[in-house]
Amino acid sequence: MKDKDRAKLIVKILNKTYPRIFVPLKSRNVFTLLISVLLSAQCTDVNVNNVTKFIYPKYYKPKHFLKLGIKKIEKLIKKIGIFRIKAKSIYNLSRIIIEKHNGNVPKTFEELEELPGVGHKTASVVMSQGFGYPAFPVDTHIHRLAQRWGLTNGKNVDQTEKDLKRLFPKRYWNKLHLQIIFYGREFCKARDCYGITCKICTSCYPNRKKPIQTKRA
């Protein structure tokens, strides 16, 4: 089966499994979405939502976090992994958004990636989920699944993103990256499917007998 045929089959299965999708990180506006995505690094969405549900009702603008200061931000997010580093990033990006962007989250990849603590994946999520711009955020989970499903050679997340964008029409990207994440969490888990049990794996590779080894990002 050619990779583009696999891509079409995968879209069909994912659309049937998840006809409607939702953004897993809770947010109040684009700025709080940016903060939540930053907090989600090395942390589950559930944990982030459990922490931010007590923050966003009161603090949801850059000026709020700038006024709080780093130490108070640390106290608010102390249940999140590497919270001190993240608190510093939140404070500094809030300052930059106020000083350089009139308090508004920038709407380009270049400007977003200039913000402290914001890499390409975080910028892609904000562009996709916050602004509706076609983007294909690739994290370690999507990288792993793309290898299992024969969509990339698995060199790194940058190459995986390029391969996925080549295989799937742009109009699918924003929905598809979330569908892949949901499917991986439910059916094609890292320590469960191993590339040989879920519907996508068995449909794409019906003759595969041995667990597939994936390359880390």
Query: Does residue 116 sit within a domain?
Result: yes
- pLDDT, one tens digit per residue, over 80-98 is 999 999 999 999 999 999 9
For residues 163 and 187, membership in a common domain is answered with yes
Helix crossing, 3-17 with 157-167: angle to 10°?
90
- Choose the final residue of a domain: 130, 149, 181: 130
Distance from C-alpha of 138 to C-alpha of 161, rounded to nearest angstrom: 6
Could you tell me if residue 211 is inside a domain?
Answer: no
Catalytic site positions: 121, 139
Domain-located, residue 96: yes
Q: What is the pLDDT of residues 104-133, one digit of tens each?
A: 999 999 999 999 999 999 999 999 999 999
State pLDDT tens for residues 164-190: 999 999 999 999 999 999 999 999 998
**Amino acid residing at 109:** F
Contacts of 173 (CB under 8 A, 6+ apart): 128, 134, 135, 136, 165
CA gap 145, 180 in Å, rounded: 8
Q: Is residue 192 part of a domain?
A: yes
Give CA separation, 162 vs 135, 154, 176, in Å: 11, 11, 15
pLDDT of amino acid 187: 96
Q: Within 10 A of 197 (CB to CB), how many other CB atoms are there?
A: 13
Q: Is residue 212 domain-resident?
A: no
> DSSP strand E in the chain: where?
none
Provide CB contacts within 8 A for 116, sequence distance 6+.
Answer: 88, 89, 92, 93, 96
For residue 7, give every residue at least 6 positions away whose Cβ sits within 8 Å of its Cβ, in sequence order, or none.
Answer: 151, 167, 168
Give the chain's domain count.
2
Q: Examine the domain organization and report whether 34 and 120 are in the same domain.
A: yes
Examine the fold and report which residue of 90, 113, 130 is the final residue of a domain before the chain moves on.
130
Q: What domain range is 155 assigned to? A: 3-21+136-204
CATH of residue 159's domain is: 1.10.1670.10
- What average pLDDT score do residues 130-150 get? 94
Which two structure tokens, joined as six digits, stand for 86?
């993240």
Regarding whether 125 and 34 lie in a shared domain, the answer is: yes
